[in-house]
Amino acid sequence: MTLKFLVLSSLALLTNAHMAAFHKAMYCFNGTASGQVNYNNDDPVSPLWMLKKSDYWFHHVNQCDDFPPAPGDFLELPAGSSFTVEVAANRGVTSLSFNGQFATDWGDGGNHPNDYSVANLAGAPLSSSGCIGNPNMHTQNQSMAAGTAFAISYQSDISQVTMDNLAVFTVRYNTPWKRVTSYDVPKDMPACPADGCTCAWVWIPNGCGEPNIYMQGFKCMVTGATSTTPIATPKPPVWCEEDQSTCTQGAKQILIWNQAEGNNIAVSGFDLSGNPKSPAYNSKCGFQDGEGFHALVAIGNVVSDTSPQEHRMTSLVHRPLPPQRLQQLLHHPHLLPPRPHQLLDRLHQLWRHRLLHHPHHLLHHLLHHLLHHT
Ligand SMILES: *[C@@H]1O[C@H](CO)[C@@H](O)[C@H](O)[C@H]1NC(C)=O
Ligand SMILES: *[C@@H]1O[C@H](CO)[C@@H](O)[C@H](O)[C@H]1NC(C)=O
């Protein structure tokens, strides 16, 4: 039997599969059978619904958390930069099996249009709930994809990770989508203990089937850390789509929803688009796209959201600009003022208005500025 046959026969079973983030530092990388390597591993992809905490926590329902990554394998989180995982339905269609020969742009090893959607399936099937079926991303199209996130605990031992020491630090809106997915790392992430940190990939789809949650573990470590401020005790997120001022500020817990115990969010009724409310790693529950700027600015026991550095910078503010003008600057950096003080002021205003979600935006603006004004 060839490897190809093994892969194809396993792909035939993918129709009911869901998604996980694959990386060699994940728990149950080789599957959940002791001493065996399952190159077509899909053990971490199954959704979690109405389970006891002991079962949903790090996907213990099939013992995934009992199979740590090989010693020395860590998901590296470069402070102020980004890291990449492969979001797929099966390890067989990632670069981590069969030399990547079955990997495509998509998490099912198939080829789909760039603007893949229920209106542009190009021959792929619909799921039973009328959404994209392959891969089973629980969405109608990219814009409806609910968002996925990573959380971190500064505990090396997975058994010591609790809701109170596991904080969401990065969110990617409109995912799961393509296989290769990157997440930004806040620059203020402190270093992990010598044996590393424990991370979790989490996802709650927006409808398209049973209202499940997803959670799987990784061994991770922050590289290039300069901050030594520990992360704050995370607080439960709340539904705040209608009024962003009511969102939980600062470090947030992962969302536990529709489980038999330990839920930290409950919703009823409909969201602003008229669909049943589904908590998610997006603005509906106060999560920003990109790095958890919010989460890590409000670290430690900082009570004010203005750091001493901000106080110093505030003195540079000349004139608050209206939001439209800030948006304009964001998209037309050549309009940034040439004088350093004014430039700093504009960048600071963009930052305060949370318009600079990604540090590379800031870099981009600065480089552009330097090229054109020096
Ligand atoms: C997974 O299997 C490979 C052999 O293919 C081995 O090198 C690696 O250490 C295994 N990882 C774990 C976590 O068991
Ligand atoms: C995505 O799907 C939603 C729900 O079906 C729909 O309302 C929206 O118009 C679609 N967006 C695009 C860009 O196709």
Report the amino acid identity of residue 232: A
Average pLDDT over residues 316-341: 66
**Is the pLDDT higher at 65 or at 340?**
65
Ligand 2 contact via 117 beta carbon (within 6 Å)? yes
Residue 37 has pLDDT above 50, yes or no: yes
**Is the pLDDT higher at 29 or at 12?**
29
Task: State how far the Cα of 95 lies from the Cα of 168, in Å rounded to an integer.
Answer: 26
Mean pLDDT of the chain: 86
Tokens of 233: 């005790």
Q: Which residues of 22-47 are buried (b: 16+ CB within 10 A; e: fewer)?
A: bbebbbbbbbbeeeeebbbbbbbbbb
Ligand 2 contact via 144 beta carbon (within 6 Å)? yes
**Ligand index nearest the alpha carbon of residue 33:** 1
Ligand 1 contact via 266 beta carbon (within 6 Å)? no
Residue spans per domain, the chain = 15-299, 308-373
Residue 50: how many other CB atoms lie within 10 Å: 13
**Is the pLDDT higher at 198 or at 297?**
198
pLDDT in tens, 223-249: 999 998 888 899 999 999 999 999 999
Task: State how far the Cα of 192 lies from the Cα of 101, in Å rounded to an integer.
Answer: 35
CB 80 within 8 A of CB 185: yes
Residue 312 has pLDDT above 70, yes or no: no
pLDDT in tens, 41-89: 999 999 999 999 999 999 999 999 999 999 999 999 999 999 999 999 9
Residue 163 has pLDDT above 90, yes or no: yes
Ligand 2 contact via 104 beta carbon (within 6 Å)? no
**What pTM was computed for the model?**
0.79
State the closest ligand 1 atom to the C-alpha of 39, by its place in the atom list counted from 1: 5
C-alpha 270 to ligand 2 mean position (Å) = 17
Ligand 1 contact via 69 beta carbon (within 6 Å)? yes
What pLDDT is stored for residue 3 in this prediction?
46
Residue 107 has pLDDT above 80, yes or no: yes
Q: 3-state class of 128 per DSSP?
A: coil
Counting ligand 2 atoms within 8 A of each CB, the residue from 116, 117, 270 with the most, and so the one to mutate, is: 117
Residue 188 has pLDDT above 80, yes or no: yes
CB 233 within 8 A of CB 165: yes
Residue nearest to atom 4 of ligand 2 (CA): 140
What pLDDT is stored for residue 290 in this prediction?
87
What pLDDT is stored for residue 344 in this prediction?
75
C-alpha 139 to ligand 2 mean position (Å) = 9
C-alpha 214 to ligand 1 mean position (Å) = 24
* Phi-psi region at 137: left, alpha or beta (left = phi > 0; alpha = psi -120 to 50): alpha
Counting ligand 1 atoms within 8 A of each CB, the residue from 29, 30, 38, 39 with the most, and so the one to mutate, is: 30
Residue 179 has pLDDT above 80, yes or no: yes
Whole-Å CA distances, 329 to 157, 335, 343, 373: 46, 6, 11, 16
Average pLDDT over residues 242-266: 96
Task: State how far the Cα of 99 lies from the Cα of 81, in Å rounded to an integer.
Answer: 27
The 8-class DSSP code of residue 235 comes to B
Report the amino acid identity of residue 77: L
Residue nearest to atom 1 of ligand 2 (CA): 141
What pLDDT is stored for residue 291 in this prediction?
72
CB 16 within 8 A of CB 136: yes
